[in-house]
Amino acid sequence: MTFGRLERTQGPQPMSDINVTPLVDVMLVLVVIFIITAPLLASTIPLDLPKTDAARPTEAPRFVTLLVDRSGQAFLNDRPVQPDELARDLAQTARQHPDTEVQLRADQAVPYGKVVEVMGVAQKAGLNRIGFVAEPAPAAALTAPAGR
């Protein structure tokens, strides 16, 4: 008697891996929706605020540019000024906006004493926020060892 084949070939197996691509697509769409709607939900209570002259929108931080060239000449906002005029203009700026920043740009050939003198004029005028502006070093100078 012949019973036929004892060995059977298995049919196609079900896929047991989860495809996460559609899940990622749906999650990214939800993130975009939340990013767009979140600012709209920040203030959901409708208010009719009163009007007043005292409520002014905040301004961007103010600054003045103070330059000292090779000859020691001072420039305030790109305008040449004498030392007494510089002190007067900086004092007026400090009275109007005491939190004004002074962006100091001095040529590298200017003696240190002249830079300190200009800083002193700014501080005496009431402007204590002084930032020094410099150019970034070239990439070759950054990798060269010091002392050469």
Q: Give mean pLDDT in consecutive 10-residue pieces for the chain, a chain of 148 residues.
A: 66 81 94 86 64 65 86 89 92 90 90 91 91 79 58
In a domain, 32, yes or no: no
Answer whether residue 79 is part of any domain: yes
List the helix and strand counts (H, then E) for the chain: 4, 5
Q: What is the pLDDT of residue 49?
A: 67
Q: Which domain holds residue 120?
A: 63-132
* Closest by Cα among 127, 105, 123, 124 to 115: 105
pTM: 0.53
Domain assignment present for 31: no
Q: Report the C-alpha gap between 102 and 128 in whole angstroms.
A: 8
- Picking from 131, 119, 130, the residue whose alpha carbon sits closest to that of residue 86 is 119
Number of domains in the chain: 1
Question: Cα separation of 69 and 107, whole Å?
Answer: 5
Query: CB under 8 Å to 77, separation ≥6 — which residues?
Result: 64, 65
What is the domain-level CATH number for residue 84?
3.30.420.270
pLDDT for 4 = 60
In a domain, 143, yes or no: no
Is 89 within a domain?
yes
* Assigned domain for 92 exists: yes
Residue 81 lies in a domain: yes
Question: One-letter amino acid identity for 83?
Answer: P
Q: What confidence score (pLDDT) does residue 121 get?
A: 92
- Measured between alpha carbons, how far apart are the two ends of the chain, in Å? 99
Residue type for 113, please?
Answer: G
- Whether 142 is covered by a domain: the verdict is no
